[in-house]
Amino acid sequence: MRPPDTAILVFAQSAKKDSLDKGVLKGELLFDQLTQEAIQKAKRSGLPYFHIGEQQQLGTHFGIRLANAMQGIYEKGYKKIIVIGNDSPDLKTATLVQAANILGEGSPVLGPSKDGGVYLIGLDQSDFHFEAFISLPWNQGNLRTAMISWLKELSAQPYSLNPLMELDSEWDFKVWLKLNTQSGRRLLKLLLLILTRFSTAVSAVNLYLQEIYFRIFRNKGSPNLLRLTFV
């Protein structure tokens, strides 16, 4: 039986490396949860999906590791790939379905992040050119602009989804938590679960989380920004 046309790639490095790279001390449990949530969203879309973690990624830099992962999925017979990471917790399953539908109509899809990058890439195999793809300015603030120019050179006008925030640093977490989104409130509950389950000072942890909640969601002035450190 021929495999479905479109697949989702959840491309995420290990929780330990995420914690180190993004400056969230001892945040492995948090990043593992974010990865699992991204996988569940892909699963709920009803599309085939692949999670390629750090141990399966091949290459010396991000662009070539991503390109190798995508190439491997194209070689399995899929014609269209939707790439997501674990760093956009506000991404919805409905957005993945929307991206798949747009790809099916013949347009590449980009999900713009607020730092100039992208939180989602939807690409047909016909628009995937390995050397050009790895030459894009990965992990730089002009990535989205460069991708749009590259796709236009291929006569492929990309469709732009609604912008979302990517959590690429401790500062991003601070700003995102202050936005008082549903995902942000859920993350605070996750932090409480993690800390109360693994901390030896449960009462102190509860007070700490209550203080964070007050600072972020209730303070009408300029709240102190917390440092994300997990025990």
Query: What are the DSSP calls for 191-203, one per residue?
Result: HHHHHHHH-S-HH
Q: What are the Cα distances from residue 33, in Å, to 30, 91, 99, 126, 188?
A: 5, 15, 24, 34, 13
User: What predicted TM-score, i.e. pTM, was given to this entire model?
Assistant: 0.78
- Predicted confidence (pLDDT) per residue in 57-95, tens digit: 888 889 999 999 999 999 999 999 999 999 888 899 999
Residue whose C-alpha is closest to residue 8's, from 33, 45, 53: 45
Residue whose C-alpha is closest to residue 87's, from 111, 67, 69: 111
Q: Going from the N-terminus, what domains does the chain have, and what CATH number goes with each?
A: 6-160 (3.90.550.10), 170-218 (no CATH)
Residue 188 is predicted with a pLDDT of 59
Cβ contact 18:31 at 8 Å: yes
Mean pLDDT within 106-121: 93
Mean pLDDT within 2-13: 84
Mean pLDDT within 124-138: 95
153 vs 171 pLDDT, higher one = 153
Q: What percent of the chain is modeled with pLDDT above 90?
A: 49
Cβ-proximal residues to 57 (8 Å cutoff; 6+ apart), any chain: 11, 13, 65, 68, 69
Helix (H) or strand (E) holding 21: helix 15-21
- Predicted confidence (pLDDT) per residue in 157-211, tens digit: 899 999 998 877 767 767 766 765 666 566 655 655 554 444 443 444 444 444 4
Helix (H) or strand (E) holding 151: helix 143-153
Count of other CB atoms within 10 angstroms of residue 212: 18
- The encoded tokens of residue 58 equal 């091949």
